[in-house]
Every structure is written in structure tokens, then in C-alpha cells.
Chains A and B, each alone.
Chain A
């Protein structure tokens, strides 16, 4: 079950990474004037909802599978996505509005946002990936004494592993 969750997250995360890259490429195309604002925005707006859903699913999944830390990590970004989607003014053509994207540095902020998301998704990707392996690792390795106190409350190996990673860094 655990591995299914993470494998799914991994795939989902891959998709989100690709999506972020696609956003960045399209936006930079717009920046360089290879495409016009209208087509750029219609392309991007198509993928806003999938992105929101994709991310929300992972977040919810983490909540359900009680991976608190990952859930909390994902929560702000997911909230931001949803907030951004909801708060689009009624007259706008979506999150990316061709009439506004060149104004007030919106293009830059969109770009920045896409970059941050890419970074975040990459981080998540490796985290999920590591979790997969870590779980196996964990199964193989017996727990060390210093970690036992942490593990007592969390029976989930995943969480434990994460904590162990942190403590080792500390």
C-alpha cells in the first residue's frame, strides 16, 4: 500500500515536473516573442486545471496515508494553486490573461512561479523516490537507538525514515 502511494506520487510528480517545464518554455517563448500572448495564454490556461488537480490529488493522498510532513509540505503550494484559480477575476480569460500578462511584470512573476514550482516538484520527486528506496532500506536496516524515541509514536516506517534523515543531519 505504502509503495503504491509513493509510486503514484512519483508518477504524478513526474507529470507536474513536465508541466512546469512546459510552462517555463512557453512563457519564455512569449518573453522572446516567438509566440503571441493570445496563443500562449490559451495554451497555458488549458493546463492550469490539470495542474491544480494533479497537485491536489497528491496532497490529499498524503493526508489520507497520514504522511504529515509531506502533506504539510505540499499544502501551501496546493492552496496557492487553488487560490489562484479561484481568484481569477470574472472578466479574465483564466489564470493567464493575454491582456494582462505583459503588464505589471506579470510575465516575470508567472515565470518565477513556474520556476519555484519546478524546484519544488523536483524536490518532491527525489523525496518520493528516496522514500521508495528508503523504505526498503529501512526494512533492511534495524533502527538505531537514537531514532527509537521518534519512531515510537509513528509506526509508519516512512515517517520514521524521514525523521531519521533529519536527525542524522542535525
Chain B
């Protein structure tokens, strides 16, 4: 039955060199900062320090303190370089003066001096230091200058950190001395110069570049450390004394106190206060001060910290703007720095650690904070080829997506509160303690930028202006409503019409203390619908909001710490991976943060290979980063890693040939053949099918590809045991021949049937020994053999407002096949390119349960529908070259008491919490719903950990671990304050898809509306002072009704508008499998006005000027005839040109003389050498850079048929079948009043 048929011979192409490393190579091992790490879980840590500890280990200071690190010195000593002298001496002298001089004024002066020093010294530094990436960062003199100044501040930061770190480092064995330290230092702070406001971009950078251990400059720091040691020490000793008021024998201590008292009246008192308060809580007064404030019970701790923050925020701009550092302080940080540098990888941590104090203490303007963050970010990019930051703006904006998680060094809890307190004298009196929430407000804007990390660091800039505006407004708000967290500020929805933020919607930041917050997982990878976890299920039920997680675990990261280690430390009972939120009880034991079991720290973990130090388990990268990747050893393999195997199953029936997709697919494959992720073992194969199934023997040695036709589709078999899946590199010529021949081989086919089922069975047989990826291209309803389907769509029902049927699969064939494939580690990706109904609901099952992905191109035709053809081309490019993980499993663990009950996404749930993913790709998102089974009263933090175990395309077994930590709250108001409206909406969308398949579409729609009604009415009933006649939402949920309305008008859920069944089902598939960022664009597109871009505020990215037009409401009222608008729907860009649009714009941007001459189909903007064109293109390409799929652009004129596509996205408008936004609000209000 199998007949070999010759293919037309093809000229042999040049043999392409084996591609170095496509997908997987991105993550270079990112070393981690050495910043001292302290116990993470504040609460737990508290509990762990029995009073007995105080007396215990003074010896700790030696090892954990940063000052005297013998090994490090030794290492660095030979690295001595010229900087050392110049750098060091000014620096040092400065500190000495500072310490002694009581008056603040002098201090300032001093600092300035030192600053100057710094400036002068820094430039050479940077030059010398910055190798590679950093080099580019200093293009212009002015830039350098600013950065230098900033660097100064960075130092200050370090300072803070160091202080804290010293405390922290001793983490476990806190003796009172150490603890006292922080207090002292904080006290000093005011003296010295507190506000570290300016961003420390430069420093961070310089260090970053030095991250390699060999880099020259470490020396100087070393020397520092040795000298500096004495100072800190003395501090340590004295402090406890002073505070305890037992002995004030030491003169230095005395003087210190004097200083304090003089310069800061009241500061001491405050400190004392703190101490006292601490004393109440725990037997060790000093200790308790720092600890208490921060973490412990929300009730108590929160207010204190908030007070701190608020006080910090107030400082006069003048102060903050001058970066000052106190010498004594700086030293310790320095030493810390030096450590970091020596340890190479760890540097970034250091840098990052610096910011922590800043953020908590010194943000009188959000700008500053942002800068700091940016600085952090930049500094953190140690290992990866970091994008070069060209200018200040870029710097500000530049956050590498992962940086936050990576960089964040755990700043010990105690310092933060302290610093803030001390700074109070400076701050113009925020009246003492403010409600706990106060502090949430200020950070929000800052962090907001973070959440939206996009792969490109350029993303930052975008939000920047917005954030500023926001922050200023927020600042005002926080003053007015000092009693309320920002998230709870009531918003009258019916009156407040401008609820859209200026730029994209930020993710709320968990109300954690600053160091935990810095450590936390990036909201892009891991997001929870409620950033304040309710304590009990009853409370959750009262809030009427869904509790769940949205995951994007395999996201493309520019920086990711990769850990190779012989032991992967995990909890012995719950198998949680060690993470930044565990607590170290002492050096030998750690307590799991999910199940609270106390585990031993294995011997290997005591040694830190990056820092080459021993006895600092808390400094290991695993404990410093909430997103890490382990290289797994053989325990984590069921079988040796398999090669990457790609099989393409192509429809070649008449319909397919007519659509002409083969040319595009083959060309894309030819182009990207060398970029397919894999190693030298990569294998590839092809199957085509119509009413028969054709195999291609590509065995090396054949002169041309051999086609083997199997016509027995009822009992499919493989015509030859080998040669069907061949090594990509050995048979490259044959593969190229085949790809060149394929598009023309079936041009005259008359076969209209499609035996998809049989082809899939054959593919499964072919793949089952190794697993891999099957890519199926299908253009019609399968009509033959197994898995044949019948048309179920009734076109007359398309716009029915009643029940929509056939949303579920018609047969279980594809599901069974998918499960079989999943069992053999094979994923099936479906490309459906059809012009008619093809029952996607059934076909999609093959991808849904095998962890594949689904692409759908309605009415695809290569020439009649160029937009779709272009989209296919772009999608394919991304699809073929993106990273891929094979044989993956994902497990989601959460703190005891929480449990996961429903999963959304493409995978197979193999056991209660184990998701089996045959393939995992960077564009796959997941969602889970959770319930609270036991109340969380005995904990103040809830943690979630996702571990994704996969085989990389290079044949490495890897584990990517994300850990998220969130506070637990016990009041309904707090739950609302922490609601993440985007996450809530995405989770609701997932739930609604399930509901509409299992129940019915109207049911799902009702459920969506009810979700809004219930949550808002629950909120309104909690806030007693609200007038019932108005529709009030908490600020955190003000976009909720809008998003839900958008969902109701989404293709997946809309009724009354003609929607093809396949379109609807595809939208549902996307909702289930897209990560949050993409899904939000799909639900609520962004609309910008682009005809006046020149007037807009701009940011600079990579030497480009990118305008930042504000977001517009999705309403036709915004579309003026004189304007041009860009709508960003995620996978599509629409440019709508108004009838009376300025001819200059049309000429300069579109390249046509007037409106009438614009063609109907326009998918590209011409490159015209005019400012408007430049701006527009840079804006669009900037939008494109932030996402993996480059969207297709369509220019739409007023009379264009594609207009409906555009207008259907204007969800605030009334349509014949659906409410306008205002009507929807009234409807909700009515429902609430019922």
C-alpha cells in the first residue's frame, strides 16, 4: 500500500551551519547579589528568637558581618588597581568628619564634599569598570554626571542596606548587640543626611559591570572594609548601651548620642519609644523594636510601618534631592558592596539592596523611587547581556522584566521601620501613626511600573509619565484621606467618568514590608486576584470576589538566576523548594513557609559557590530570588532527556491548496530551520494528508525525499520504521528539498476530503517513542476516517440572544488522542485556517489537553485576505523560534490552609496539583482558583509556589520556580483594598468559559454580571457612610464594571451580534490559555489618538523618541472626525482615520495626498522622512516591542468594511444588543438596590 513516489529533485542548497543556540540560550546563569539576607518571614522570625538568644552568639558578627571577610579579601587583593587610592581616601575621610560633627548643616556639607569626590572619582570608575554592556551606557558627558550624582545616593542607599543587612545577616542568632546596631544606624541617619532620594543609577551600573569576580575594582572596597570595620563595631557596642541606658561608658557612644540629641531633637525619644514598644511585645527590647514594627501582627505592625513611611514621604524636596551619605554609614555598605563585587554574581543583589531603604524611606516624589528602581534594575543585570541604557530616560524606564525579583535583595526587616522613624525629624511632621494602609498608597504608583514588566525594558518609560501624574495625584489623595488606603477610596462610578488611568493599568502591590515586596515575584509571572488574602473562607465569601492565581510561568525573561547545584533544597514534607520567604531558625535549620516544617540545611547549602563563603545559607541565590531556575539532576528524570522532535502535519486537500497556506508555512520553515530550538539531536518530520496520509522518508543518504502514501486510513500504520523523523542537521538538504517542493506538489489535487484523525493517529505513533511537538495545519472539517466531524453550526443562530449550542466537543476522539499524546509527552499545536465552519470546539481538544496551543485564522486566503496571511507569517516566525520546554510538569503549592480546586489553561491535570504539560511555551498562561480550607489565623503571610520542571531544547532538565508571598488580612475592607481588578476579570473570564461550556452562555453572562453586582453591593454594605443611591466602588475595583462589560461584549460571550461559532470558541480558547497581559488587551484594547503625537509627552528608548499619548475611552464619542486613532488589541493594531483628518497627517504618516486616496487595504506605514511619521512609527514599534507576537496593522477608513472590526471594540458604546457603559452601571445599581 505504500508506494514510493519520487519528488522532483532540487538543487542542493548550501549546508547551513548548525545554529548556535536558538531559544534556550537566553538565560545565562545570573549570579545573585550577596546582599545580606535576613529572615524573610517576619513573623516567624520573631517567634524564633527566644530571649535566650541575646546572650548567645557574639561570634556571629564575624562571619556574617560584611566587614571582615577573609576569603574575599584574599581573592580581591591581587586585583588591585589604580582606583583604589583616589577612591578610597576621600571617601574615608568624609566619614570620619561626619561622625564627629553634630550639626546637621556640616554634615550636609561634608556629604556634599564627599559627593563631589565621588563625582570626580566615579567617571573613571565607570569607564574602567564597565565592560561590555555598561560601556554603552555612558554615551554623553551629561549623562555621566547625573548618574554620578545618583550614584552617590546609591551609596546612601547602600548605607541603609548595609545597616539593615548587618542586622539581617545575623538573622538567626540575633544577639542584642546586633540588633541594636540597626537602631543606632538609623538614629545616625537623620544626622547624616537621610533622604536617599536621588536614584542611584550610576553606581548600580558600575557595579553591575563589575559583577564578574575578576573585575579590577573590588580592591578598593576591600580596603574599605578593613578600615571601616572599626567604626561599625563601635557603633554596635555603643548602641545597645545607649538605648538600654545601662552603661554609657564609651566615649564614642556618648558623643554619638550627643550628636543625636543635638541634631535631632526628639529623634532619640522616638527611638526610645520604639524600644519601649518593642519591649512590650518581646522580652528583648532592642530586638523587638525593629522586628515588631515590621512584620508581626498586621494590626500592630502595619500602623507602625505606615507611620514610618508617611513621615518619610513628607521630606522637603530640597533634602531629598541632595543625595547625601553619612560616612560611617557608607562604610558598612561599602563593605557590603565589596563583598558583592567579589562574589561576582552577587553584585546585583547589593545594588538592589540599596534601593530597599530608599523606597521605604525616601520617596517624597515617586519619580525618585522610580529612578531608584531603575537603578536597581540596571544594576541587577549582571550576567545577562543587558541592554545598554543610553540615557537617563532610558535608565528610568529601564527595568528588565525580571529585575525586580532578581535584584531584590532581602533587606532585613528591622531597618526599614527604623530608618523611617529616624527620618521623622526631617519629615515635616506627619502626625505620628497613620493607619496601616497609608503606606500602601505611596508605593503603589512606583510598583505599578514594575508589574507590567514586559520583555523589553522599554516598557518602563511608557508608564513613566503616567506614573508621575498618578503619583502626584495620589500624593494629594493620601493627604486628604489619610484614614483610607488608596485602594479603598470610594469612587462614584456613575459620576466619575474618567476612570481610565493615563497609561496602562498597574498591578496592585501587596501590602508587605519593603524588603519582602522587593523579593516578591514579578506580577507578570505570578499574580493573585486578591493581593490581601482573606483569613477565612467566610471572609472570602463575604467579599464575593474570586480567589485565584494567574500564572505566566515560562515567560521570556531577560534575566534569570540559574542554579547548578548538587542538592536542590526542598522541604521534606511538602517538597517546597527553598525560597526567599522561608525563615532560617539558625544556620542549620530552616522553616518551610508553606507547611511550617523545620528542615535541616544540607551541608552543601552552607557553602555559597558564588561568594565562595561558608556558613551563609541565607545568601544563596535560591534564597535571594523569588524566580530561579535549577538545573535538575537525574532524580528529576524519568528517562534521559529526549531530543527536540518536531513533526509537521499538513493538510494538502483541495481546500488547503486553494487557500495557499503551504507556501507561507514552507517558506517560514525554510527561513527558520536553523533557528528551531534544539541541539545536534533535533529531529524533524513531515506528514501530509488529504483522503490518504502521505509520509516522507528523509533518511540521510537518499538522493531526494521519498513520499510514502498510506491509503488505509481506518487502520493507519507507519510505512517504514525509520527515516520519517530525521536528524535536522544530517538531512538538512533533503528537508529543504521537500519544503521547496511541497507547495507545488499538490497544486492540481482534486481531493476534497480530509482524514485528519488518521493523520493524527499516525503522527502519534511516530512521536510516541520520544515525545515532542506535532504542529497540525488544518483547513476544513475532517470528513473521513476516525474523528470525522459534521457541521453543527446553524448560521441562523449566529446572532441569537438565547442559547448558543455546540460550544463543547462533538466527539471524544480528539480528547482521547490528546491524552494519549500527553501520556507520551507529545503536544499537538493546531493551526486552523478555514473559511467555513470547522468545528474548532472539537478540534481544539487535541491541543487543550496535550498542552498545545491553538491558532485560528478565519477566512484565510493567501491573496484575498492579506492581513491573515501576514498574521500567519508572523505567528509562525514566533512559533518556530520561541523557546520550548518538553516533558514538563507543573506543580502549584500554597500555604497550608489554602487549596486549589480548579485549573484553567491547556494541560492535563494528572493528579490533584500536578499539571502535565507535554510542551510548555513562553506564551502560555494558566489560571487556578483557590479556596480557603482552614482559616489562616496563625499566619500573616500566605505563599504560593509554582515549580515548572521541563527539558530544555538543549536536553537539559530544568526547574523554574516562582514564589509569591502575600499578606493575610482579616477585615473585609482590606480584602477590597488589595483586589487586583485585572486578575479578577481574567479569572472570571476563565470561569465564565467553563460555565458557558458546562451550562450555557446566558448562564455565564448572568454570572459575570452577578459578580459585579455582588461584589459592589458587598462593598457598599461594608462602607456604612455611603449613600445607597449612588453606585460606589472602591478605587481598586473601579474598573471592574467596565471590564466586565467589555467581557460581555467580547466575542466569546456576546449575544445578539452575529458571531460565528468558531470565532466564539476560539475567543474562549484564548481566554483559557493566554497570559494576563495579552488577555487584558484582548478584553479591553488600548485606544490612542495619534494625529497629534508631536505635542505629546515623550520618552526616550534606545535613542528613539517615543511619544506617550494618553489612553482614550473606548467610546465613539472620543473619535473625532478630525483625528486619527490607534487601537491596540493585542494581536491587531487598527488605525482609524477620521474623514476630516488633517491632510498633513495623512501625507506625512500614510504617504497619501488626501483622505480619499487612502487605499482600502493598507497594512503598513510607509517610512517617510517627516517628524509625524517618525513619531508614529516609533510609537507603534515601541508598542510592538513589548510583546512576543508582532501584531498586524490595519488602516481603517470610515467606509471600510473592516470598520466593524474596529467599532466592535468600542465597548463603552451602546449597540443594538448590549448596554452602553452608563446603562450598564445603571443596570448594576438597579440590581444592587433590589
Contact B908 A33 (CB under 8 A): no
Task: Give Cα A101–Cα B912 distance, bound, in whole angstroms.
Answer: 9
Does any Cβ of A come within 8 Å of B819's Cβ? yes
A33-B812 contact, Cβ under 8 Å, with A103-B902, A104-B901, A104-B902 = no
User: Do the beta carbons of A89 and B808 come within 8 Å of each other?
Assistant: yes
B845 at the interface (CB under 8 A from A): yes
Q: Is the CB of A102 within 8 A of B912?
A: yes
Name the residue of chain B whose CB is nearest to the CB of A103: B902
Type the 1/0 row for B898-921, where 1 means its CB is closer than 8 Å to any CB of A.
000111000011111010000000
Those 8 A-B pairs whose CB atoms lie nearest each other, nearest first: A91-B809, A102-B909, A33-B911, A103-B902, A93-B812, A89-B808, A91-B808, A104-B902
What are 7 A-to-B residue pairs whose CB atoms are below 8 Å? A38-B819, A89-B809, A91-B809, A99-B819, A99-B848, A101-B909, A105-B901
* Centre residue among A30, A91, A107 by max chain B CB count within 10 A: A91
A65 at the interface (CB under 8 A from B): no
- Shortest CB distance B537–A (Å): 13
**Contact B816 A103, beta carbon cutoff 8 Å:** no
Contact B819 A98 (CB under 8 A): yes
| Contact digits for A7-44, partner B, Cβ 8 Å, 1 yes 0 no | 00000000000000000000000110100111000000
Question: B808 contacts which of A33, A90, A101 (Cβ < 8 Å)?
Answer: A90
What 0/1 pattern do residues 39 to 52 of A give for CB contact below 8 A with B?
A: 00000000000000
Q: Fill in one digit per residue for B977-1006: 1 if any A CB lies within 8 Å of its CB, else 0.
A: 000000000000000001000100000000
Interface membership of A148, Cβ < 8 A: no
The 8 A CB mask of A86-98 against B (1 = contact, 0 = none) is: 0001111100001
B994: A residues at CB distance < 8 A:
103-104
Across the interface, B910 reaches (CB within 8 A) one of A37, A89, A90, A107, namely: A37
Inter-chain contact A99/B809, CB cutoff 8 Å: no
Chain A residues with Cβ below 8 Å from B849 are 99
The interface size of chain A toward B, counting residues with CB under 8 Å, comes to: 19
- Docked Cα-Cα span, A91 to B840, in Å, equals 13
**Measured CA separation A98–B816 after assembly (Å):** 10
CA of A164 to CA of B1108, assembled, Å: 86
B811 and A99 contacting across the interface, CB-CB below 8 Å? no
Nearest opposing residue in chain A for B813, CB measure: A91
Shortest B926–chain A CB gap in Å is 13
- Tell whether A37 pairs with B812 under 8 Å between CB atoms, given A91-B842, A102-B903, A104-B994: no
B886-942 CB contacts (< 8 Å) to partner A: 901-903, 908-912, 914
Question: Known: A99-B849, A102-B912. Is A93-B816 also a contact (CB below 8 A)?
Answer: yes
A-B contacts besides A90-B809, A91-B811, 9 pairs, CB < 8 Å:
A30-B911, A89-B809, A90-B808, A91-B808, A91-B809, A92-B812, A102-B903, A104-B902, A107-B912
Q: Confirm or deny: B823 has a beta carbon within 8 angstroms of a beta carbon on chain A.
A: yes
Contacts of B911 in A (CB 8 A): 30, 33, 36-37, 102
Closest residue of chain B to A104 (Cβ to Cβ) is B902
Contact present for A98 and B908 (CB under 8 Å): yes
Q: With A38-B823, A93-B815 given, is the CB distance from A103 to B909 under 8 Å?
A: yes
Chain B residue at minimum C-beta to C-beta distance from A30: B911
Contacting residues, chain B, for A105 (C-beta < 8 A) = 901-902
Residues of A within 8 A of B902 (CB): 103-105
Indicate which residue in B810, B901, B912 contacts A91 across the interface (CB closer than 8 Å): B810
Write out the residue numbers on chain B whose beta carbons fall within 8 Å of the beta carbon of A104: 901-902, 994
Residues of B within 8 Å of A91, CB to CB, are 808-812, 815, 841-842, 845
B813-831: CB near A (< 8 Å → 1, else 0) gives 0011001000100000000
Q: How large is the interface on B (under 10, 10 to 19, 20 to 34, 35 or more residues)?
A: 20 to 34
Find chain A residues with CB under 8 A from B823 CB. 38
Chain A residues closer than 8 Å to B998, beta-carbon distance: 89
Q: Which residues of A contact B (CB under 8 A)?
A: 30-31, 33, 36-38, 89-93, 98-99, 101-105, 107
In this complex, the member of A30, A36, A99 whose beta carbon has the largest number of chain B beta carbons within 10 angstroms is A99
Complex alpha-carbon distance, A101 and B910, angstroms: 10
B residues less than 8 Å from A99 (CB atoms): 815, 819, 848-849, 908-909
Residues on A with beta carbons closer than 8 Å to the beta carbon of B810: 90-91
Within the complex, the shortest CB–CB distance from B993 to chain A, in Å, comes to 12
Most buried by A among B815, B911, B994, B998: B911
Chain A residues near B901 (CB-CB < 8 A): 103-105
CA distance A100 to B966 in the complex (A): 29
> Which residue from chain B places its CB closest to the CB of A108 in the assembled complex?
B901
Nearest CB of B to A93, in Å: 5
Residue-wise, chain B 654-665 has the 8 Å CB interface mask toward A (1 for contact) of: 000000000000
Q: Is the CB of A33 within 8 A of B912?
A: yes
- Nearest CB of chain A from residue B799's CB, rounded to whole Å: 24
A113 to B902, CA, bound (A): 19
CA gap between A92 and B914 in the complex, in Å: 21
Q: How far is the CA of A105 from the CA of B908 in the complex (A)?
A: 16
Bitwise interface map of B from 794 to 816 toward A, beta carbon under 8 Å scored 1, else 0: 00000000000000111110011
Provide the residues of chain B in CB contact with A89, threshold 8 Å: 808-809, 998
Cα-based distance from A40 to B688 in the complex (angstroms): 35
Complex CA gap A61/B389 in Å reads: 83
Residues of B within 8 A of A30 (CB): 911
In the complex, what residues of B have CB within 8 A of residue A36's CB? Answer: 910-911
When distances are taken between beta carbons in the complex, the residues of chain A under 8 Å from B815 are: 91-93, 99
* Identity of the chain B residue whose Cβ is nearest the Cβ of A39 in the assembled complex: B823
- Candidate in A92, A93, A98, A102 with the most chain B CB atoms within 10 angstroms: A102
On chain B, the residues within 8 Å of A101 by CB distance are: 909
**Most-contacted residue by chain A among B815, B848, B909 (CB, 10 A):** B909
Complex CA distance for A91 and B841, rounded to whole angstroms = 9
Known pairs A36-B911, A93-B816, A98-B908; A103 contacts B808 (CB<8 A): no
- Could you say which residues of chain A place their CB within 8 Å of the CB of B910? 36-38
Q: Which residues of B contact A37 (CB under 8 A)?
A: 908-911
A79 and B842 CA atoms in complex are apart in Å by: 29
For A36, give the chain B residue with the smallest CB separation.
Answer: B910
Residue of A nearest to B900 (CB): A102
Q: How far is the CA of A170 from the CA of B842 in the complex (A)?
A: 58
> Which residues of B have CB within 8 Å of A103?
901-903, 909, 994
Within the complex, what minimum Cβ distance (angstroms) separates A27 from chain B? Answer: 12
Q: Which residues, 839 to 861 on B, are CB-close (under 8 Å) to A?
A: 841-842, 845, 848-849
Q: How far is the CB of B610 from the nearest CB of chain A, in Å?
A: 36
Contacts of A33 in B (CB 8 A): 911-912, 914
List A contacts of B809 (CB < 8 A): 89-91
CB-CB nearest in chain B for A98: B819
Q: Bound state CA distance, A103 and B905, in angstroms?
A: 12
CA distance A84 to B816 in the complex (A): 21
For the complex formed, measure the closest distance between the CB of A101 and the CB atoms of chain B, giving whole angstroms: 8
Report the nearest A residue to B812, measured CB to CB.
A93
For the complex, give the distance between the alpha carbons of A12 and B799 in Å.
Answer: 51
Complex: chain B residue closest to A107, CB-CB: B912
Nearest to A105 among chain B residues (CB) is: B901
A91 to B819, CA, bound (A): 13
CB neighbours of A102 from chain B (8 A):
903, 909, 911-912
Residues of B near A98 (CB, < 8 A) are: 819, 908
Whether B912 and A31, one on each chain, are in contact in the complex, defined by CB atoms closer than 8 angstroms, is: yes
Rounded to whole Å, the gap between the CB of B573 and the closest CB of chain A is: 15
In the bound complex, how far is the Cα of B812 from the Cα of A170, in angstroms?
53
- Closest B residue, CB atoms, query A88: B812
Q: Determine how close the nearest CB of chain A comes to the CB of B841; give it in whole angstroms.
A: 8
A6 CA to B823 CA in the complex, in Å? Answer: 47
- CB neighbours (8 Å) of B812 from chain A are 90-93
Are A90 and B811 in touch, CB under 8 angstroms?
yes
Residues of the A chain whose Cβ atoms lie less than 8 Å from the Cβ of B841: 91
Q: With the chains together, A104 CA to B902 CA distance in Å?
A: 5
CA distance A105 to B909 in the complex (A): 13
Residues of B within 8 A of A90 (CB): 808-812
Q: Which of A31, A33, A37, A93 has the most CB of B within 10 A?
A: A37
Cα A103 to Cα B903 with chains together (Å)? 6
Q: How far is the CA of A113 from the CA of B854 in the complex (A)?
A: 36
Interface centre among B808, B809, B912 (most CB of A within 10 A): B912
- Nearest CB in chain A to that of B903: its residue: A103
